[in-house]
Amino acid sequence: MPRTWFVLLSFALVSGCNDAVEDPAEAAASPATSNTEQKPAETPEPTPEPKDPVVAEQPAPVDYNTLSDFESFVLLEKGTERAFTGEYTDLEDAGTYICRRCNAPLYKSNDKFHSGCGWPAFDDAVEGAVHQSTDADGYRTEITCNNCGGHLGHVFFGEQMTKKNTRHCVNSVSMKFVAAGQPLPPVVKKPKEADAGSPEASSGESGSK
Ligand SMILES: [Zn+2]
């Protein structure tokens, strides 16, 4: 009898131990082994996930027209072309003068007149196209493209040259002439540059003599 008990007890202990030991061991071992064994069988050819970067189709960033060194000197650095050297000084063709930098229409040939000063002269501008501000010299009135801030020249009043008594003295190189009947290129619109036309606001005009 006692021997039977011992056998039963030891069997129970061993089987119990076996159960307790084998279960976690199997649980831990079987997934690993099955995984490594199944992988080569289940994935005969690795299909790469479509990771192509989803780039939303957006219009290419539109930039201002590329300027030559001299055009940049006049339009961006407020330079001046020499008198009687500009290509449009004596042009009388019908058409529109647009900004060379951004294509904004600035002047019409109807408003052009011969001033004799050596630069294209207009006694009026396309409405809202030309910005006026006090020049850095403190007394002249600088004119800039209202769209891109490019320097155009200066405007003078009271010279009695035309009925409008106004003379926009514009560098030819700041403009591009589009003959009547030709399509005008689209205007390049961008956020205004911080330095364009800023001196107007900061220049405190004091009339002290
Ligand atoms: Zn412009």
- Report the greatest alpha carbon distance in the chain: 139
Q: Model confidence over 110-156: pLDDT tens digits? A: 999 999 999 999 999 999 999 999 999 999 999 999 999 999 999 99
Mean pLDDT of 16-35: 45
Mean pLDDT of 73-79: 98
Cα 161 to middle of ligand 1, angstroms: 27
Q: What is the pTM of this model?
A: 0.64
Give the per-residue pLDDT at 191: 66
**Who contacts 61 (Cβ-Cβ below 8 Å, separation ≥6)?**
none
Averaged pLDDT score across all residues of the chain: 79
Predicted confidence band of residue 43 (pLDDT cuts 50, 70, 90): low
Q: Domain limits of the chain? A: 83-187
Contact call for residues 31 and 38 (beta carbons, < 8 A): no
Contact call for residues 188 and 139 (beta carbons, < 8 A): no
Predicted confidence band of residue 193 (pLDDT cuts 50, 70, 90): low
Cα 103 to middle of ligand 1, angstroms: 6
Could you give the CA distance from residue 117 to residue 100 in angstroms, rounded to a whole number? 22
Instruction: Please give the CATH superfamily to which domain 83-187 belongs.
Output: Peptide methionine sulfoxide reductase. (2.170.150.20)
* 169 has catalytic annotation: yes
Predicted confidence band of residue 58 (pLDDT cuts 50, 70, 90): low
Helix (H) or strand (E) run with residue 146 in it: none
Cα 168 to middle of ligand 1, angstroms: 16
Cα 203 to middle of ligand 1, angstroms: 23
